[in-house]
Structure 1
């Protein structure tokens, strides 16, 4: 039995190599009035929303909507209060902006504003129950937004590690366990599989700037933080992160020599490891950009480089390397709970469905062109065979 399991494990690893992903960056349409850094944003459906931030060192309040289906930009209603370093998030078809800093007058916001895309209007909600701040983080899990840390003053702080949860249903706040990492700001954050993740960051002390590579995951059920492996690319602040196909992509930012980072690493929550991701060499490197995702696509844009605010927008795309035998043009489409097979060599074949850790979760005999197989949301590996020969293999992502 042990030998059989070992053989299957090797087989799956070899198979994974045949369908390894190749990522590329595609530049999208941008606006001349879009350049900014330390901005924020959120996504609603197939639309991305970017706004606030520094426009060449001047805090702004404007907001823009990008339709990912049509590639068009529309200016929407301004938020109340020019600011940079705010946090943004969305829930149930509405967007939210919280906190931020306006250097003119030394204003540190603790407000929360809700955007309704139907009415194109902002509404004030219950204010953040602590002193105003900027450079914090936010993530959303099951109807609750978690606001973490931030800077309450100048570049040297004071900083905060507090975490406060906002309940969308009751418009109320509650205090949660503090972030356990070193006091800092301009970390990055993301939500993945029901957990929140926060890491990296910078602080200014008597000896100068210190940058961090540590990351922690948050379990909302136990209200507890746990360390995960440190970011393998180095210590950075102002990094960009987004989730794509149930994995987190984290990259860019600057280090303690103010050198920009061109690497992305991918966090796999199932295995608890970081894997090398796609290097960004297509455009200017940056810190303080904005990463956003829809249900099946991922983007980042804006940012700061060498005293300049950036106005570009990029999408991460994936090209799969398919394994086919003897040039057979077999293809499989998954639609409405069924596999639709074209180019079959015979009337009988086998479909195998694996999860990302190599466990086979379905083995189906396919005797026609349409084979029913109800799968939940997630990332899968599909193998189609005839007469014990693999004719098709590919990743399948169900958003």
Structure 2
């Protein structure tokens, strides 16, 4: 009986363990890289031109890391009134807040600081992120969310965070939305919370919580997925846990753990690699020099769907549904159903494409693939279309053609529709640079002793013309 009871307990433990979404897949790996020059914690990290710059509260240093050379360079120190944890990069500069409620920008190339703006609110900022060329700041405890436009140097207050803003939370951007991750309450209890903010609707929404509660964590977005890294899970309980959030499925997946558990660490992304550096790893608040590189497990995107093609004059227009994990699309074409296909365009970032290298009357067959750092998807459904020249109206009845010349004079002609179409064909051709400069209208009335009468109109003298078709009365 004891043996059966023990078996039941083991079964429950294993069931709980495997009910979590684990995915230690190929590419989901951490590698130790060159240590920082100086230990730092409560720091920020930002990428500019392929290099990472760190700004630490412990020693107040600026350190530059070159991932290609795996080496660090000291860039000196930064102003003492700058909040080190508020650093983020935007268009070649690294923006910070300081304790005098100013936005200041650091230029890593010139190694200079510039004051940009005054913030409309006072108080500590718990997290910040860039989304759609705007910088967002969440204010600890107060629940404010502020939007700063670095281009216009202006501010806008957004919807308040609907729950008590947690200290030690992090903010990330993915899927054109913001995500406030983790943090701790006033009593030091870490939380698993995840809140989503939609700038389009100015609305916050509670989403699926993390598997592990933590504060003082760092977050990064790769391939439109958010990775929550490290942090403090409880009193003096430093964690090396890493988990990945998919905004589309609203699910978390546990990833390979950091080699060194720590909190108040920083991270930055170069390409598809994440670099995590610094932080505290002990209750005494001693900063570390650790630097780890993460290679994400980026899956090949799903194939695009609902590809459609429509033909027009000398062009074919394509549309398809967006693939969330796609970085770009490739367009492939054939003149035979089923292929083989030739790539006619790559690095297409939208979900529409116009193919102008086509011949009217020929049927073309298309497929589209989605591409990201993980590779290229399979082909979408095939769509076909045939470009067609505009149809010339069938001659029927007659029309009055009134031509207005550039000098304001009007010329009126009563023509058959065959004659009207001939005139329009000449006009269109001349507009494209072909055909005679003048057009002759035959006058069949008042011939008297003349064999024929012709009225010659020069293309360059025509301002506009009007065609008024009418039915010919039958006797």
Answer whether TM exceeds 0.5 for this pair.
yes
Match of 2:111 in 1: 120
Match of 1:264 in 2: 242
The runs of 5 or more residues in structure 2 that have no matched partner are 1-23, 301-321, 350-370, 380-475
Match of 1:220 in 2: 199
Q: Do structure 1's residue 210 and structure 2's residue 189 form an aligned pair?
A: yes
> What SS does the aligned partner of 2:137 have?
strand
Q: Do structure 1's residue 285 and structure 2's residue 270 form an aligned pair?
A: no
The answer as to whether partners of 1:20 and 1:321 remain within 8 angstroms in 2 is no
> What SS does the aligned partner of 1:86 have?
helix
Q: 1:75 to 1:259 in 2, by over 3 A?
A: same
Q: Do structure 1's residue 374 and structure 2's residue 343 form an aligned pair?
A: no
The answer as to whether partners of 1:212 and 1:236 remain within 8 angstroms in 2 is yes
In 2, Cα distance between equivalents of 1:195 and 1:132: 24
Q: 1:69 to 1:175 in 2, by over 3 A?
A: same
Q: 1:231 to 1:361 in 2, by over 3 A?
A: farther
The answer as to whether partners of 1:41 and 1:87 remain within 8 angstroms in 2 is no
The answer as to whether partners of 1:236 and 1:256 remain within 8 angstroms in 2 is yes
1:5-54 per-position Cα deviation (integer Å, ceiling 9, x unaligned): xxxxxxxxxxxxxx954311112212342x11111121113111101312
Match of 1:7 in 2: none
Match of 2:72 in 1: 73
- CA drift of 1:268 comes to 0.9
Q: Output aligned runs, 1:293-332, within 5 Å.
A: 293-306=269-282, 307=284, 308-318=286-296
Match of 2:18 in 1: none
> What is the Cα-based RMSD across aligned positions, in Å?
3.1
Match of 1:137 in 2: 127
The answer as to whether partners of 1:20 and 1:320 remain within 8 angstroms in 2 is no
In 2, Cα distance between equivalents of 1:83 and 1:124: 11
Match of 1:27 in 2: 32
Q: Do structure 1's residue 162 and structure 2's residue 144 form an aligned pair?
A: yes
- CA drift of 1:70 comes to 2.5
- CA drift of 1:68 comes to 2.1
> What SS does the aligned partner of 1:305 have?
coil
TM-score normalised per structure 2: 0.58
1:323-375 per-position Cα deviation (integer Å, ceiling 9, x unaligned): xxxxxxxxxxxxxxxxxxxxxxxxxxxxxxx95789x998886759x855525
In 2, Cα distance between equivalents of 1:84 and 1:383: 43
Q: 1:320 to 1:273 in 2, by over 3 A?
A: closer
List structure 1 segments (4+ residues) > 6 angstroms apart after TM superposition: 319-322, 360-366
- CA drift of 1:110 comes to 2.3
In 2, Cα distance between equivalents of 1:143 and 1:318: 25
- CA drift of 1:310 comes to 0.7
Match of 1:94 in 2: 93
Q: 1:292 to 1:22 in 2, by over 3 A?
A: same
Q: 1:275 to 1:124 in 2, by over 3 A?
A: same
The runs of 5 or more residues in structure 1 that have no matched partner are 1-18, 100-107, 151-158, 323-353, 386-399
- CA drift of 1:245 comes to 2.4
- CA drift of 1:182 comes to 2.1
In 2, Cα distance between equivalents of 1:145 and 1:321: 29
- CA drift of 1:98 comes to 1.5
The answer as to whether partners of 1:190 and 1:248 remain within 8 angstroms in 2 is yes
Match of 2:429 in 1: none
1:367-390 per-position Cα deviation (integer Å, ceiling 9, x unaligned): 59x8555254663664679xxxxx
Larger radius of gyration: 2
In 2, Cα distance between equivalents of 1:357 and 1:302: 30
In 2, Cα distance between equivalents of 1:356 and 1:130: 36
- CA drift of 1:148 comes to 0.4
Q: 1:76 to 1:132 in 2, by over 3 A?
A: farther
Q: 1:237 to 1:357 in 2, by over 3 A?
A: closer
Q: 1:98 to 1:173 in 2, by over 3 A?
A: same
The answer as to whether partners of 2:142 and 2:164 remain within 8 angstroms in 1 is no
Q: Do structure 1's residue 110 and structure 2's residue 86 form an aligned pair?
A: no
- CA drift of 1:145 comes to 0.4
Q: 1:366 to 1:257 in 2, by over 3 A?
A: farther
Q: 1:95 to 1:366 in 2, by over 3 A?
A: farther
In 1, Cα distance between equivalents of 2:255 and 2:85: 27
